[in-house]
């Protein structure tokens, strides 16, 4: 008996070793590609941010400066501060407004009987357009005199005004991403059991109550996922800036990622650019951790 069990045990262990080996082999390609193109660049950014590496160190090679780049960023660099603050505003405004609009649109398109798919496409198409197309269309909407908005109010120069340029970009970003977010909510709504609404109705809930006590809590996982998407969207705004404002006027629309681009490729200041990159990564990391952490407590289905 004893020996038999041992034998089976041994065979199982052998088999397990083989399958483990096989599993790792299957995972290998994805691990390699993730390591080379995401993990390594992030590590390298952290490392490079500790060096002074710009035009002045071209001959000597990068010089170790420790955390000096970060200290400079947060104490002296006025453009960085502005970009940091601008990004914060963009995120704080676009995330809630995109989510609200998207939920409303998802509920609305679900109510539409005929022409549902047309309405969906109409809301969603801005997300499908290439950035260059979107940026050019909005450039025209905002152009004074000739532009569409310029037709209504010829004196408005939204993109050239320090006070308005941020808002012009915010409107464009919400316009572009709300429909994309809506798709996730539509699929989230499909996952809600209709019986829950019937139960709520029996308990005398009206449609507003049903929304707040059934729909919205059930959509929490979608909301968390969507918040990560909209957050990264807000922080990776760069294509539009490149085409529409170049961060101007007077850096009023500069954002962190565009600043990285300016530092690295226009000014060849790799050290500072890397430091800004690391700051960006930390922000996104923190946001994701917070969102994942709060997920468990707020949702009530596994």
Partner 1 sequence: MKKVTCSVKKKKIGFPKFNSSRNQWTLGTVIILFFLLVYFVLVIYPLIWMILSSLKTEREFFRNIWGFPAEFQWENYSKAWSMGISDYFLNSVFVTACTIATTISIAVLAAFGLVLYDFKGKNLILLLGMGGMMFSAQVALIPLYRVIQNLRIHDTYWAMILPYTAFRMSISLLLIRSYFLSIPREMYESGVIDGCSSLGILYHIYLPMSKPILLTVSILIAYYSWNEFLFSIIFIDSRALKTIPSGLMVFRDALNTDYALLFAGLTISALPMVLLFILMQKQFIRGLSSGAVKG
- C-beta closer to partner 1: residue 32 or 162: 32
Cβ neighbors of 120 (< 8 A, separation 6 or more) are 109, 182, 183, 186
Q: In whole angstroms, give the CA distance from residue 46 to residue 42.
A: 6
Where does this chain touch partner 1 (CB under 8 A) — which range of 58-66, 81-89, 162-170, 199-207?
199-207
Residue 86 sits in the site that holds partner 1 (CB under 8 A): no
- C-beta closer to partner 1: residue 101 or 165: 101
Report the site for partner 1 in 40-79 (rule: CB under 8 A).
Answer: 40-42, 44-45, 48
Report the site for partner 1 in 125-184 (rule: CB under 8 A).
Answer: 125-126, 128-133, 136-138, 140-141, 146-148, 151, 175, 179, 183-184
| Residues belonging to the chain | 302
- C-beta closer to partner 1: residue 165 or 280: 280
CB 264 within 8 A of CB 275: no
- C-beta closer to partner 1: residue 64 or 301: 301
Where does this chain touch partner 1 (CB under 8 A) — which range of 1-9, 68-76, 101-109, 162-170?
101-109
**Residues contacting partner 1: total by CB under 8 A:** 106
Pick from 8, 9, 96, 203 the residue near partner 1 by CB under 8 A: 203
Residue by residue, DSSP assigns 145-181 as: TTSHHHHH-TT--GGG-TTTHHHHHHHHHHHHHHHHH
Tell the smallest beta-carbon distance from residue 6 to partner 1 (Å). Answer: 22
Tokens 């929490």 appear where? 220
Pick from 29, 75, 155, 293 the residue near partner 1 by CB under 8 A: 29
Q: In whole angstroms, give the CA distance from residue 111 to residue 98.
A: 20
Query: Other CB atoms closer than 10 Å to residue 98's CB: what's the count?
Result: 26
Q: In whole angstroms, give the CA distance from residue 82 to residue 85.
A: 5
Q: In whole angstroms, give the CA distance from residue 178 to residue 100.
A: 9
């Amino acid at each position: 008996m004893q020996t038999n069990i041992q034998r089976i045990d041994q065979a199982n262990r052998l088999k397990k070793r083989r399958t483990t080996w096989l599993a790792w082999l299957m995972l290998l390609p994805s691990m390699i590609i993730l390591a080379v193109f995401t993990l390594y660049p992030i590590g390298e950014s952290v490392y490079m941010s500790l060096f002074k590496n710009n035009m002045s160190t071209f001959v000597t090679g990068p010089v170790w400066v420790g955390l000096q780049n970060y200290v400079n960023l947060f104490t002296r660099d006025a453009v960085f501060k502005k970009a940091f603050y601008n990004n914060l505003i963009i995120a704080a405004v676009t995330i809630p407004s995109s989510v609200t609009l998207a939920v409303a649109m998802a509920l609305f398109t679900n109510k539409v009987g005929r022409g549902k798919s047309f309405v969906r496409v109409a809301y969603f198409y801005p997300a499908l357009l290439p950035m260059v197309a979107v940026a050019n269309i909005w450039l025209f909407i905002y152009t004074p005199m000739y532009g569409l908005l310029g037709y209504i109010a010829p004196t408005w120069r939204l993109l050239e005004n320090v006070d308005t340029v941020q808002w012009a970009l915010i409107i464009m970003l919400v316009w572009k991403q709300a429909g994309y977010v809506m798709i996730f909510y539509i699929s989230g709504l499909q996952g809600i059991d209709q019986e829950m609404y019937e139960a709520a109705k029996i308990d005398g809930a009206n449609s507003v109550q049903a929304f707040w006590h059934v729909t919205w809590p059930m959509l929490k996982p979608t909301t968390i996922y969507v918040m990560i998407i909209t957050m990264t969207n807000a922080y990776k705004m760069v294509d539009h800036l490149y085409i529409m404002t170049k961060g101007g006027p007077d850096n009023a629309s500069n954002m962190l990622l565009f600043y990285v681009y300016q530092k690295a490729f226009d000014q060849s200041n790799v050290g500072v650019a890397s430091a800004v990159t690391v700051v960006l990564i930390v922000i996104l990391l923190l946001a994701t951790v917070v969102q994942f952490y709060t997920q468990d407590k707020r949702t009530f289905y596994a």
